[in-house]
Amino acid sequence: MPQIQGVIEDIIFKNDDNGYVVAIVATKDETHTVVGYIPNIVEGQSLKIDGDWVKHPEFGKQFKINGYEEILPTSKIGIEKYLASGIILGIGPVTAKKIVERFGEKTLEIMDNNIEKLGEIEGIGEKKVKLINESYKKQQEVRTIMVFLQEYGVSPNQCIKIYNKYKKEAIKIVKENPYKLTEDIAGIGFKTADKIARNLGIEASSPFRIQSGITFVVGEFCAMGNTYMPMDKLIKEASDMLCIDKTEVEKNIYECTLDQKIKIELIDNENCVFTMPYYYCELGVTKKIITMVTNLYNPININVEEEIKGFEEENNICFAESQKEAIKGALENGIEVITGGPGTGKTTIINCITNIFENASLKVLMAAPTGRAAKRMSEATKREAKTIHRLLELGITDGTDISFYRDEDSPLECDVIIIDEASMVDIVLMNNLLKAIGMGTRIIIVGDVDQLPSVGPGNVLKDIIESGAVKVVRLKNIFRQAKESMIIVNAHKINSGEMPILNAKDKDFYFIENGSSEGILSTIIELVNTRLPKFNKAWDSKTHLQVLSPMRKGILGVSNLNEKLQKKLNPESENKKEIKYRDTIFRVGDKVMQTKNNYSLKWERISGEGEKEGEGIFNGDVGFVIDIEDENNLIVAFEEERKVVYDKIYLDELDLAYAVTIHKSQGSEFPVVIMPAFMGPPLLMNRNLLYTGITRAKALVVLVGNPKAVHFMIKNNKSFDRYSSLKWRIMDIMKV
């Protein structure tokens, strides 16, 4: 790996929060621009830097930092320059000169071991010695931690995250339990932690290593949407990963249960292993649902039949019997689920239910899992709707841990709560929501159970429905107006296992046949870039058209689609700022998506009503890059309402979003959806995925590819089974 050694001559840019710098390093013969992570850098520091030479399109040749080591000076002149640089609080040029004159070449030794001797120097009092001591110790901590961790292949960026998380305890924690990094630090997996552990002398057969591996395997399995892992599956996968005998894994699984790291339960005659958080979440949801189902609610003093009739007359509609059943059920039960596909009148029912409750002088709150879904709910009902996180008044503790102000001790102040797009609600969020519902408050859960399940763990909506304990109304009748849309008609056909009607004249569902992956890619780019905006001049390529794909990799995966679409829709230009992070170039004007919940990111409102500022950007939020500051900070506007400054340390949470996976599109609605139709892994290419994708479109769907692929997806009703036990828990208690 290339290496340079020299003195920091000039700091062009420095981010004090994460240590990212752009600096000039003077070597013996020349100067170089270095970019990367060096915390607490100051001019005059001597460094040995490992990295790679890169060429920036605007600034030319640069040295990208992969690791560094500080070289402390040994001569009196060097020590004086080092102290005078400002790296240590309380020491400037005058004080540095006095210190070196007093202690000479032993200055740094004195500061390491007998720093109180600085008090012997005139002008350095007790308070100043304390300030110098604290600053110098912090420098030592950061330097020592960086050197220690970089030996094990931990990147400087990850080193900063580790230091920010653990502070001076970093080395101690890593030495005691390097596997803790996999739980606490994004981007550090078991292999990296295991490498550190082995170098620290932790043997492959150590119970400590095996138990850490077991909890890691369960955690990774649950990260795919499960709330537990079958015992047999855990034993096999942990044995394979750790390269140890299955009997050793099994023995250590039971040791983990004794330490309450995991929980084993018999579910549907199978031993299942839970992580403790998901175990308690399932217990919490089960307990609250049983309570709401079995408790008596005060009757509502209102004539429901007259209310329904009045609503029908006012809106010139006629409810189907199932819709009337849903409306009445919402008033008669403490908890009700309303499920149905597009065009079945879920929003109209919500409006009617809300009217009736409000006419009875009851307070109704509305919420949805995502910002987009909440915004659509608000527009459709002409009432305020919040994200569930905002409804529960999200807060942050200890920097990263989340908490909600609204809970069992401070419940939501209302009589009724209506939750839309409930298929997206995972077990953790549902548990927090139900905890905040006080006795006597009703909840109406609305969603399409045939959509993909939540990104987070659990299969909550489906489990509640299949438990048989809760009042469920399934809507199947399509409204007369909705029947005019081939998107809605075809969605129901696909959901029933039938082929959609393609290319009906003057309709909103089209299929363009193309046999090759390269041809499909070319057609999609042409559609987005020219054909569709030309067809409807009100459609903007970036804001109105959305490409959805079943997968991330491959020619027709979102990674390649984004790269190609970015080149067409937002090409490189001298007038556009850009920043490269790993393999992705982010450019001003790019469409981007947040890929994980980040509860600590701060936002500032730039338009619309609501709080002026707040915290929390969530998985699936879409926005546009509006500026790049100092080649480091990316500024994104979400929904043209909230502005967020992304420090480079958080760029691993952003993806380009000209194309997104169908999973990531959940809860969103786009004017136009373009989807490639091709043969891929059978577990991915299924009916559920196709149905979810096309129901994201409001005005137009265009499928491009092979009709055989569409046929295969419709006939393939298999999908990844999710392991969750909520249904069984409810059924076991209710004996349904």
Q: How many CA atoms lie within 13 A of 552 on its CB side?
A: 5
pLDDT value at position 630?
Answer: 65
Return the H-helix or E-strand segment holding 167.
Answer: none
* Residue 472: half-sphere exposure toward Cβ, Cα within 13 Å: 17
- Residue 541 to residue 565: CA distance in whole angstroms: 10
Q: How many whole angstroms separate alpha carbon 58 and alpha carbon 37?
A: 20
Q: Read off the tokens for 405.
A: 């102000």
Please spell the DSSP secondary structure of 166-217, one letter per residue: HGGGHHHHHHH-TTHHHHHSTT--HHHHHHHHHHTT--TT-HHHHHHHHHHH
Nearest residue to 204 (alpha-carbon basis) of 254, 252, 162, 152: 252
Runs of H (alpha helix) within 649-725: 687-694, 707-715
Q: Please name the helix (run of DSSP H) or strand (run of DSSP E) that holds residue 617, with its range, or none.
A: strand 613-617
pLDDT in tens, 603-614: 998 887 777 888
Say if CB 20 and CB 649 are below 8 A apart: yes
Check the CA dihedral 511-517-521-526 and report its sign. Answer: negative
Q: Which residues contact 344 (CB under 8 A, 6 or more apart)?
A: 475, 476, 477, 478, 479, 482
Residue 545 — left, alpha, or beta (φ > 0 → left; ψ -120 to 50 → alpha)?
Answer: beta
Reference 14, options 47, 46, 32, 38; nearest CA is 38
Confidence class for position 79, pLDDT limits 50, 70, 90: confident
Is residue 541 within 8 A of residue 624, CB to CB? The reply is no
- DSSP, collapsed to helix, strand or coil, labels residue 8 as strand
Please report the pLDDT score of residue 471 as a whole number.
96
Q: Per residue in 606-647, pLDDT tens?
A: 887 777 888 888 888 899 999 988 666 899 999 778 899 998
Highest mean pLDDT among 14-18, 228-232, 604-608, 642-646: 228-232
Cβ atoms 129, 119 nearer than 8 A: yes
Give the chain's mean pLDDT. Answer: 88
CA atoms of 657 and 173, how far apart (whole Å):
38
The closest alpha carbon to 107, from 138, 144, 134, 76, belongs to: 76
User: 599: pLDDT confidence band, cut at 50, 70 and 90?
Assistant: confident
Neighbouring CB atoms inside 10 A of 104's CB total 12
How many angstroms separate the CA atoms of 8 and 449, rounded? 60
Longest dimension (CA), the chain: 95
Q: What is the reported pLDDT for 631?
A: 62
Using alpha carbons, select from 20, 61, 216 the residue that is nearest to residue 651: 20
Using CB atoms within 10 Å of the CB of residue 338, give its burial: 0 to 12 exposed, 13 to 18 middle, 19+ buried. Answer: buried
93: Cβ contacts below 8 Å, ≥ 6 apart: 84
Distance separating alpha carbons of residues 371 and 388, to the nearest angstrom: 9
| Rounded-to-integer distance, Cα 424 and Cα 225, Å | 11
Banded model confidence at residue 398, pLDDT cuts 50, 70, 90: low
Those residues whose C-beta lies under 8 Å from the C-beta of residue 23, and which sit 6 or more positions away, are 8, 9, 10, 11, 12, 14, 33, 34, 38, 41
Q: Which two tokens stand for residue 212?
A: 């850490």
At residue 156's C-alpha, the angle toward residues 155 and 161, to 5°, is 95
Q: Which residue intervals of 647-694 are DSSP H helices? A: 687-694
Higher pLDDT, 477 or 199: 477
User: What is residue 447's predicted lDDT score, i.e. its pLDDT?
Assistant: 94
Beta pairing class for 228-230 and 270-275? antiparallel
Q: How does residue 461 score in pLDDT terms, banded at 50, 70 and 90? A: very high
- What is the identity of the amino acid at 7? V
158's tokens? 């990850």
Instruction: Identify whether the C-beta of residue 470 lies closer than 8 Å to the C-beta of residue 731.
Output: no
Residues 109-150: tens digit of each pLDDT: 888 888 888 888 888 888 888 888 888 777 777 767 766 776
Q: Given the DSSP bridges, would you call strands 633-638 and 642-646 parallel, antiparallel or unpaired?
A: antiparallel
Given pLDDT bands bounded at 50, 70 and 90, which one contains residue 397? Answer: low
- Amino acid at position 635, single letter: I
Q: Give the Cα separation of 392 and 414 in Å (integer).
A: 12
What phi, psi does 160 have (nearest 5°)? -65, -45
Task: Report the alpha-carbon angle 290-294-296, nearest 5.
Answer: 140
Find the mean pLDDT for residues 59-79. 78
**pTM score:** 0.76
pLDDT band at 671 (very low <50, low <70, confident <90, very high): very high
Q: What is the CA radius of gyration of the chain?
A: 30
Using H for helix, E for strand and C for coil, what is the string for 57-69?
CCCEEEEEEEEEE
CB 369 within 8 A of CB 388: yes
The pLDDT assigned to 17 comes to 63
